[in-house]
Structure 1
Amino acid sequence: MSKQEKLICLGKKFNSEEERREYFRNELRKKLPELKKLEGFPIGEDDDIINLSDPPYYTACPNPWLNHFIAEWEEEKEHIKTRKKDFEIDEPYASDVSEGKTNQIYAAHSYHTKVPHPAIMRYILHYTQPGDIILDGFAGTGMTAVAAISCGNPDSETQYKIETEWKHIFDSSPVWGTRKSIVGDLAPVASFVSYNYINPVNLEDYEMEIRRIISSFDEKLGWMYETKHTNGKVGKINYVVWSEMLACPNCNHELSFTEEFYEPESKTVSDVIKCPSCSTELTKESCTLLFETTFDKAIDKAVRKPKRYPYLINYNYSSSNYTKKPDEFDFSVLKRIEELDFPEHAPHFKLPDIQMAKVGRVKTTNIEYIHDFFLKRAFHSLAFLWEATLKVADKRTQAFLQFTFEQMVWGISLLNRFRPTGFSQVNQYLSGVFYVASHTSEISPDYLVQGKYKRLIKAFSQYKSKQGSSLNYCGDCSFLNVKPNSIDYIFTDPPFGENIYYSDLNILIEAWHKVLTNAKNEAIIDKAKSKTIFEYQLLMEACFKKYFEVLKPGKWMTVEFSNTSAAVWNGIQMALQKAGFVIANLAALDKKQGTFQAVTSPTAVKQDLVISCYKPSSEFETKFKTIHGEVVVWDFVSEHLHHLPVHLKKLNTTTAIIERSPKIIFDRLISFYLMRGFPVPIDAKDFQEGLKQRYVERDGMYFTKEQAAEYDEKKARAPEFVQLSLIVTNESDAIEWLKERLRKTKQKYQDITNDWKIATQALRKGDLLPELQDILNESFILDSDGKWRTPNPNEAKDREALRTKVLLKEFATYVTAVSQAKAKKLKEVRAEALRAGFKNSWEQKDFSTIVKLGDLIPQNILFEDEQLLMYYDIAKDRV
């Protein structure tokens, strides 16, 4: 920046980035007392939070400047020529997305989970136009912001790939241009990684500083990684394999796990060996882990730690790699390391009571403090490098250096497993858990960092971020300080139930930053903190309500979600709908193959889900609140149909759209009414009749007249129709299976039975399925020729009334059973009877019966059934 140029930030002029940073850091310090009142404020001293921040673009706490930037960005929209005033998106993005994880920017930091940003770019390009404001409150490493930036500066490969797809799918080109973004996360380390991804850095300064730091390390601590070659000259250690020491349970002979169980020739670990002393057959589990008592200078007391022995040294000498057994010189170096004082500014606090401290051999190996995760040589190395970054004058360069070195923490710790079949020993830890293996690889900083920093320079030299186009913060999504109706699109990738304990795992890196996650409102299922599926759902609901509040009416949200539990999946759906969103499209994302497959049953969820949902227009919400009766039902259906995909093509065939089936449309209607506290003014049969009268039916799906014409035109180009295969997991699915079968042709009972037995093999535990004959009697018509068929509209009403009577009678027996003194939980129930009974109890405002029964039925039935969970969840709020 020349002397004449001034840097302008939020209307204020500054002579340099450092002046701007210092001014806003002082402003942030003044605001901290108020910000600390917000849930999710991180745990740390004011100075550490301020030093980690680069305000107003990034704050390691809630960001008080977000609305100021939103106001500026809204003004800037007026000057972007590629924007359209009538821009409106009716359909969700429902095309296949294939995107691997080899992108250099994606791989620049090894966080727990990430969605590749080129995949997110497709959603952004579909739902927004240049200058639009995007939000992600579960941003992790900030891939949503990277995607928003990359829409304005895509790499040539991604641009070509997306433009080719757009031509095929939409017969047009995407509108390229930077989108603005706000990204945040509860975890300080995640928000810090995000900051480094989305703010420019001077790579020349970075390279100069990291080379200086590595040189300084070699000069002062390089001796710790020296070893002697066969000629007596000094080589540099790449890594050392350490083995736990075990004892034979029969003769108490001391043995090295790696020495005895590891087979160097085959590079495998044996399950069974013979004791070298007494020849007893041994497994690892049958042996005793040996401990030794050492003095811990950090806590000033004697401690018991697993006895470990260096098994092998891999080193470099004269540009070639060699291996050797440790010798006298190596043991003298280890002794010298033992005599070092504990690093002055290194973290040494005790681990809190967290779930990850109870698994992965953390307890077994007596890990109690942060420094217990490291061998002493590794800990001293990391402490030196971290301290060196703090002495770098330029704060942006300092942050990028920490972005680099924090990636060493796991890889240089005891979590780094010895994996002889791996390409290298770098980052061989087991992700998602603190797992301490019986043999580990202690990596040298040089072996780990040299390649890493060069890859970072290459990746970030090709990716151009622009300061001020993306903002990030650290805090609780549900307390986000953004004004209502100000966000154009939300892409979010929330926590997946109990999949990953983010705050537990992040503590290992956040300890070095001295700013920790405030996990009170962390939206996960957490055994140690007694957070069940209920607490998880409530926390997610609070976040989705904030999303609903800040999103503009008529705009879209995409939720990427991964969990194999139907209960967690239903919890997410419930939270979305209670917040006010209407789900328009569900698909399963197979990350390995990169394709989407339609979801027909929540209990079939085995892959990542992409959920497309929208906030209803303000006009419709007003009409819904002021006009009652059946007329609004059809307004809802019309608006909803306009938000659904019109045509899906897979491998040149037309595929059924499950969201356009009458059953799912009616389910969405019920949810919309009940979540807003209104009774549903129409029953299922009248609803289906109304659909047939007002809309156009194609292949079992319903469309508006205009959509039907579009569907017909597109289907003509892909005439083969693929009906979704139905997985029968409950009675409702079974009835749909029968309807589909008998709609095609009438059949006798004996023609159905064999296929019925096969189709109903995957029923939920605890869910009673009536006999086939009973289901046919209740829901279908037997003609004089002895064949069963589907009922006509008049017959259907009679059958529905008969079936409801039978179901309510069954429900009454459950109510009687749970009303007894010391009532026990019901082991098996008929879910359809519960549905009918819950609906009837709801209409009678008998909420206590719903809650009482919900507590005493099999929990998998409650959590895996969307309708039961909906009634129960709302009833709980009214008891």
Structure 2
Amino acid sequence: MSNSNLKLGVPQGGAVTCLGREFANEQERRKYFSEELRIFLKNVDRSQFDGFPEGSDEDIIQLSNPPYYTACPNPFLTDLINEAAPDRAYVPYSRGPLADDVIEGKNDPLYSVPSYHTKVPPKAIRKYILYYTQPGDIVLDLFAGTGMTGVAASLAATKQADDPKDVEHGFRQAILVDLSPAATFIASIMAAPIDPVLAQGAGGVLSDIVSERIQSLYSFSPQSSEQIDYGIWSDWGLCSECDQDFRLYDVVIDWDTPKILDQYPCPHCGATNVGRKLARSFETIKDPWTGEVKRRAKTTLVSVSKKQGNRAVRRTASEFDTRTADAALSQTPARVPEPLRYSHMTHERNNLPKYWGVDHVHEFFTPRNYLAMDRLTTDLPNEYYRAAMFCAITTIENNTTRRNRFYVDKRRPNGSPIGPLSNTLYIPTLQVEANVGIKALQVAKSAADVASKWSKHHAFVTTQSSTDLHQLPDACVDFIFTDPPFGGNINYSEQNMLYEWWTGLRTNNKKEAITNSVQEKGVSEYTSLMNAAFRECHRLLKPGRYIVVEFHNSSNAIWNAIQFALGDAGFVIANVALLDKVHTTLHQDSKAAAVDKDLAITAYKPNGGLEERFALKGGTEDSVWDFVSTHLKYLPIATIKKEGLEFVGERSPRVIFDRMVGWMIQHNTLVPLSFAEFQVGLDTRFAERDGMYFLAAQVDEYDKRALESGSPRTRSLFVDDERSAIDWITEYLKQRPSTYQELFPEFTKQLGISWRKHEERPELAKLLEQNFLIYGGEGPVPPQVHSHLSSNWKEMRNLDKSNPLLVEKARNRWFVPDPNKQQDVEARREKALLREFETYKAHKGKKMKEIRLEVMRVGFKAAWASKDYRTIIDVSAKVPDEVWQEDERLMMLHSMAETRLEAER
């Protein structure tokens, strides 16, 4: 299409300096680096980069804005590091983790501009960046999405009223990585100075493009230049009784209530049809763009709507509207539609060709919208291309596809568009055909409205898998924030095919870190890919520095996979806090099981000194306490919330022990202490407060905070397996040594709340026998029991521990052993568990439906100590995969056993 009527001459500004080179203007800068990128693409071995996108060199070059952004692995990152941080010598860094929850709403204007599956508010990320970094530091996001980490790094340069007094403001250089060309393209616009065409808003060049190329497609009437704002299309159903079809729009809406009906009568025979079971009516057509004769779901235009002031004026679709909508089919788009790469709905078993006759990209659009998108994204002068592409593809997720739903309820009594069903390739019964031109200009207006808030600096963006970033040198990054994919929550490459069709590039999803049955990726494959990415993070991060990983998933297996992948990569978890985006989504509001709060997992890369000392001391007891002393430095000292001082779970003996064990296993070393011995060592070497342990230099600060805010609230222990049941009993008996009869009803209440699938429910009697002591009336009353009785019964006070009244009152009470005797109890318990583990080893036939995790843990530990790696693998195969996938210790030992067996072959 001719560009003769388009305004030319987008301002290029004055001289610029980029990576040490001077250029007359931005156009010259881009021309030079585009040629460098062309040379790189000509000579590069694409197999050397994980996730090299699929597409032509010309499409990569056209989409890119080198050196800041390349729609392929960015070859200029080494130059960036050499210029930004030429001296990467180790600099001591001392900072504890950000202990407080981060609460930041989604109403940030920059956050609202691009549309994408998931985003983190940049103001929330900014708080982490200000806390963990200094001006000039390098921040990495290896699952960058739309680039909000880059936006946050730029926002760190500007002071805000609620900033802490001790932070230093200044620009931090962001490096953004993502597998998706659509995501990195959006990030390249958001995490950079505003594009000059976008800055013109809805009245600039983009308005001319829309007016010349698109506006005529959406005429409201033959005599007027007015455009429709949107049209409503309806599927047709096939009655289960009379087999006649009918337009669903006419029967599914109850305007009086108002609501969308689940059941409705057939207009022909009156039979009741259930919506989710109703068959669609199909028709056979010849597609003029592909030439194929095919069967597709019957859909017709019902009505059109235009805005009149603040009101929507809707009328029944006329013959003119139908002709206008269908006229697009007589024109040939520049991007001739290709078959879909996927033939299924994301997250669903339903089949796209079977249910809707959809097997080509263009069938997710109405013909009119497909042609409009085509005209907006092809055959444009280069200086307009990026802005127009940005406006086009950022409207897709919520507006321009047939996934956009028309909905009627009490909040929308007249009906209105509500966007698509999140993260699913689903076409609703009632579809909204939004005006592509209007929506694109709305994006431009939104961008121009917040132009003053846009970044003043460029992030560097690369399109590749985070499993291999070999163009970056070791220890070059000061802080990492990332929001990775979480299992099967969102299948990005499938969802992004509608974005990426217009860019000409496709996600190379071989290394996409998700769980997806079609890609044959389960929890193990997901864990392996996340581990590879976190290993790169560990390599790139400077010693002693932090990574913050946002987590949003209700699956225990995925939560465990993330923690395992971090630990196995060499990180040590220091804190888990809340990252609250405040506003929930429609999905979260309506689904009871949906997670509406995110967690921020903070982990650190141990400093080089710990690694060097460990290499000398090996798996000795000294190395245990060296690790603990170092680890405690990285933990929050005190967390204050509205309710007062919080218990810091990472400072509890059980969690500290688990972190130490993980460290030892990662270093292929046997753990030299039992938990009971470890507990005794904690008590003799460190200061204890409220069930938490501190370094001598930390305890004064904690005591000061406790005086100001009071002692921490009692921990609420969530009982879902045998280990947590033991912990609950421990806490309970510490407070009140009890008889079996007293304890049983309280314990049973805890078991009724929740329980892990496949975990055998333990008998209270067995747990007490294996983990605790009972006073049978022989000898003096134990001090733990005596203290409880004398505090709660007046008549028991000041009695000798051998007094018959006290002895009788104490008889048959269970209590927590003191640490020295705990070792004997633990040894007795492990023997019993190992005997039971022998039955697991001997099991044959189908997988065991119920097991005891404690048996697995003790058995795996013993097998590891004796280098019996085959037993770990064999027993894992006898239980459901989630048993060991949902337990961090078991998963770690399973992974290490696999590695050792492979090495022995």
TM-score, normalised to structure 2, is 0.88
Could you tell me which of 212, 217, 220 is aligned with 1:224? 217
Partner in structure 2 of residue 65 of structure 1: 76
User: Do structure 1's residue 494 and structure 2's residue 476 form an aligned pair?
Assistant: no
Partner in structure 1 of residue 23 of structure 2: 14
Partner in structure 2 of residue 39 of structure 1: 50
Could you tell me which of 563, 568, 588 is aligned with 1:578? 568
Aligned counterparts, 1:237-256, within 5 A:
237-256=228-247
Partner in structure 2 of residue 600 of structure 1: none
DSSP-derived class of the 1:181 partner: strand
Amino acid at match of 1:524: I
Determine if contact 2:121/2:148 at 8 Å carries over to the other structure.
yes
| CA shift in 2, pair 1:15/1:691, >3 Å | same
Amino acid at match of 1:59: T
Partner in structure 1 of residue 166 of structure 2: 173
- 1:521-562 deviation line (CA, Å, top 9, x unaligned): 000011101001000000000000000001111111111111
1:773 offset after TM fit, Å? Answer: 1.5
Partner in structure 1 of residue 283 of structure 2: 292
Alignment length (residue pairs): 840
Determine if contact 1:236/1:316 at 8 Å carries over to the other structure.
no
1:800 offset after TM fit, Å? Answer: 1.1
Could you tell me which of 781, 804, 814 is aligned with 2:773? 781
Determine if contact 1:142/1:191 at 8 Å carries over to the other structure.
yes
Determine if contact 2:366/2:401 at 8 Å carries over to the other structure.
yes
| CA shift in 2, pair 1:357/1:607, >3 Å | closer
Amino acid at match of 2:449: K
- 1:637-671 deviation line (CA, Å, top 9, x unaligned): 10000000001112252111111111111100000
1:187 offset after TM fit, Å? Answer: 0.5
In 2, Cα distance between equivalents of 1:381 and 1:373: 13
Identity of aligned residues (%): 34
- 1:784-817 deviation line (CA, Å, top 9, x unaligned): 2221111123321211111111111101111111
User: Do structure 1's residue 23 and structure 2's residue 32 form an aligned pair?
Assistant: yes
In 2, Cα distance between equivalents of 1:6 and 1:386: 29
Amino acid at match of 1:585: N
1:604 offset after TM fit, Å? Answer: 13
1:346 offset after TM fit, Å? Answer: 4.7
In 2, Cα distance between equivalents of 1:484 and 1:801: 44
In 2, Cα distance between equivalents of 1:522 and 1:278: 50
Aligned counterparts, 1:354-753, within 5 A:
356=346, 359=349, 362-363=352-353, 364-387=355-378, 390-394=379-383, 397-410=384-397, 411-420=399-408, 425=416, 428-467=419-458, 470-480=459-469, 481-592=471-582, 607-628=597-618, 629-753=620-744
1:254 offset after TM fit, Å? Answer: 2.8
| CA shift in 2, pair 1:239/1:647, >3 Å | same
1:75 offset after TM fit, Å? Answer: 5.2
In 2, Cα distance between equivalents of 1:334 and 1:829: 61
In 1, Cα distance between equivalents of 2:643 and 2:213: 65
- 1:484-524 deviation line (CA, Å, top 9, x unaligned): 01111111111101100001111111111101100000000
| CA shift in 2, pair 1:54/1:612, >3 Å | same
In 1, Cα distance between equivalents of 2:257 and 2:672: 71
1:862 offset after TM fit, Å? Answer: 1.5
- 1:614-655 deviation line (CA, Å, top 9, x unaligned): 111111111101223211111111000000000111225211
Could you tell me which of 874, 878, 895 is aligned with 1:856? 878
Q: Which moved more, 1:626-635 or 1:177-186?
A: 626-635
Could you tell me which of 846, 855, 878 is aligned with 1:833? 855
* CA RMSD after TM alignment: 2.6
In 2, Cα distance between equivalents of 1:524 and 1:319: 43
1:201 offset after TM fit, Å? Answer: 3.1
Could you tell me which of 132, 141, 153 is aligned with 2:137? 132
| CA shift in 2, pair 1:429/1:285, >3 Å | closer
Amino acid at match of 2:69: Y
| CA shift in 2, pair 1:281/1:850, >3 Å | same
In 2, Cα distance between equivalents of 1:742 and 1:208: 67
Structure 2 alignment gaps of length 5 or more: 1-9, 585-592, 778-810
Partner in structure 2 of residue 82 of structure 1: none
In 2, Cα distance between equivalents of 1:318 and 1:308: 30
| CA shift in 2, pair 1:86/1:36, >3 Å | closer
| CA shift in 2, pair 1:316/1:656, >3 Å | closer
Determine if contact 1:153/1:464 at 8 Å carries over to the other structure.
no
| CA shift in 2, pair 1:25/1:331, >3 Å | closer
| CA shift in 2, pair 1:96/1:609, >3 Å | closer
In 2, Cα distance between equivalents of 1:344 and 1:563: 41
Determine if contact 1:186/1:518 at 8 Å carries over to the other structure.
yes
Q: Which moved more, 1:117-126 or 1:234-243?
A: 234-243
Determine if contact 2:30/2:65 at 8 Å carries over to the other structure.
yes
| CA shift in 2, pair 1:720/1:345, >3 Å | same
In 1, Cα distance between equivalents of 2:357 and 2:203: 35
1:315 offset after TM fit, Å? Answer: 2.8
DSSP-derived class of the 1:552 partner: coil
In 1, Cα distance between equivalents of 2:610 and 2:616: 10
1:296 offset after TM fit, Å? Answer: 1.1
TM-score, normalised to structure 1, is 0.91
Determine if contact 2:106/2:581 at 8 Å carries over to the other structure.
no
User: Do structure 1's residue 810 and structure 2's residue 821 form an aligned pair?
Assistant: no
Amino acid at match of 2:396: V
1:361 offset after TM fit, Å? Answer: 6.3
Determine if contact 2:344/2:350 at 8 Å carries over to the other structure.
no
| CA shift in 2, pair 1:687/1:34, >3 Å | same
User: Do structure 1's residue 846 and structure 2's residue 868 form an aligned pair?
Assistant: yes
In 2, Cα distance between equivalents of 1:319 and 1:176: 42
User: Do structure 1's residue 188 and structure 2's residue 153 form an aligned pair?
Assistant: no
In 1, Cα distance between equivalents of 2:389 and 2:11: 29
In 2, Cα distance between equivalents of 1:305 and 1:3: 48
Partner in structure 2 of residue 767 of structure 1: 759
In 1, Cα distance between equivalents of 2:709 and 2:860: 43
DSSP-derived class of the 1:801 partner: helix
Amino acid at match of 1:7: V
In 1, Cα distance between equivalents of 2:583 and 2:327: 52
1:833 offset after TM fit, Å? Answer: 1.3
Determine if contact 2:70/2:461 at 8 Å carries over to the other structure.
yes
Determine if contact 1:646/1:711 at 8 Å carries over to the other structure.
yes
In 2, Cα distance between equivalents of 1:5 and 1:607: 46
- 1:667-721 deviation line (CA, Å, top 9, x unaligned): 0000001011111122222211111111011111100111111100111001142
Amino acid at match of 1:412: T
Amino acid at match of 2:340: K
1:723 offset after TM fit, Å? Answer: 2.1
| CA shift in 2, pair 1:357/1:533, >3 Å | closer
1:221 offset after TM fit, Å? Answer: 4.9
Could you tell me which of 98, 102, 106 is aligned with 1:97? 102
Amino acid at match of 2:617: I
Structure 1 alignment gaps of length 5 or more: 79-84, 167-171, 595-602
In 2, Cα distance between equivalents of 1:415 and 1:361: 15
1:300 offset after TM fit, Å? Answer: 1.3
1:133 offset after TM fit, Å? Answer: 0.7
In 1, Cα distance between equivalents of 2:11 and 2:393: 34
User: Do structure 1's residue 142 and structure 2's residue 138 form an aligned pair?
Assistant: no
- 1:819-875 deviation line (CA, Å, top 9, x unaligned): xxxx32111112111111111111110010110001111333212222222211211
1:35 offset after TM fit, Å? Answer: 5.2
Amino acid at match of 2:874: K
Determine if contact 1:497/1:525 at 8 Å carries over to the other structure.
yes
- 1:277-326 deviation line (CA, Å, top 9, x unaligned): 22222222454311122221222121222111222221357997422212
DSSP-derived class of the 1:309 partner: strand
1:393 offset after TM fit, Å? Answer: 4.2
1:587 offset after TM fit, Å? Answer: 2.6
Partner in structure 1 of residue 113 of structure 2: 108
